[in-house]
């Protein structure tokens, strides 16, 4: 496996770990009718980051890759939003580690997009 492939796999694994952490953290809130909608939206967006990143890495064209990376970044931004909302809904809970990871994933995806725009 090349260094490039190793790095791709490491980032994909990081996204999987993030998805699992979000699911495990918010599973206890998913049955509450008052919080169901926000938690459900969070779970969908958080797990979609890695799914779209994986799809991008298996894209059939440069345009397909670009589209999937943009979607992954949008999902990361949405995940940050829902984590911020739920941090206010549950002020006694500490979601800062998830908020930080969502921010970092968003920045990594933005760097990939910026690199694409610069033709590298």
Q: Quick one: pLDDT at residue 120?
A: 56
Q: Kindly state whether residue 28 falls inside one of the protein's structural domains.
A: no
What is the domain extent for residue 112? Answer: 36-120
Q: Kindly state whether residue 56 falls inside one of the protein's structural domains.
A: yes
Look up the pTM and report it: 0.92
Q: Quick one: pLDDT at residue 5?
A: 84
Q: Quick one: pLDDT at residue 31?
A: 79
Q: Kindly state whether residue 94 falls inside one of the protein's structural domains.
A: yes
Q: Kindly state whether residue 43 falls inside one of the protein's structural domains.
A: yes
Q: Kindly state whether residue 64 falls inside one of the protein's structural domains.
A: yes
Q: Tell me, what CATH number does 103's domain have?
A: 1.20.1440.60
Q: At what angle do helices 36-57 and 96-117 cross, to 10 degrees?
A: 40
pLDDT in tens, the chain (120 residues): 788 888 889 999 999 999 999 999 998 887 788 888 999 999 999 999 999 999 999 999 999 999 999 999 999 999 999 999 999 999 999 999 999 999 999 999 999 999 988 875
Q: Which residue blocks in 1-120 are alpha helix, DSSP H?
A: 3-26, 36-57, 62-89, 96-117
Give the number of domains in the chain. 1
How far apart are the C-alpha atoms of 20 and 52, rounded to whole Å? 16
């Amino acid at each position: 496996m090349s260094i490039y492939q190793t790095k791709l796999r490491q980032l994909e694994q990081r996204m999987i770990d993030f998805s699992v952490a979000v699911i495990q953290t918010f599973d206890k809130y998913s049955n509450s009718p008052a919080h169901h909608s926000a938690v459900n939206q969070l779970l969908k967006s958080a797990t979609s980051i890695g799914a779209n990143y994986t799809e991008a890495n298996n894209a059939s064209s440069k345009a397909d890759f670009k589209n999937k990376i943009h979607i992954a970044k949008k999902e990361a931004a949405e995940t940050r939003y829902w984590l911020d909302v739920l941090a206010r809904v549950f002020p006694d809970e500490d979601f800062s580690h998830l908020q930080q990871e969502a921010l970092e994933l968003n920045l990594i995806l933005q760097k990939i997009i910026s690199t694409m725009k610069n033709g590298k």
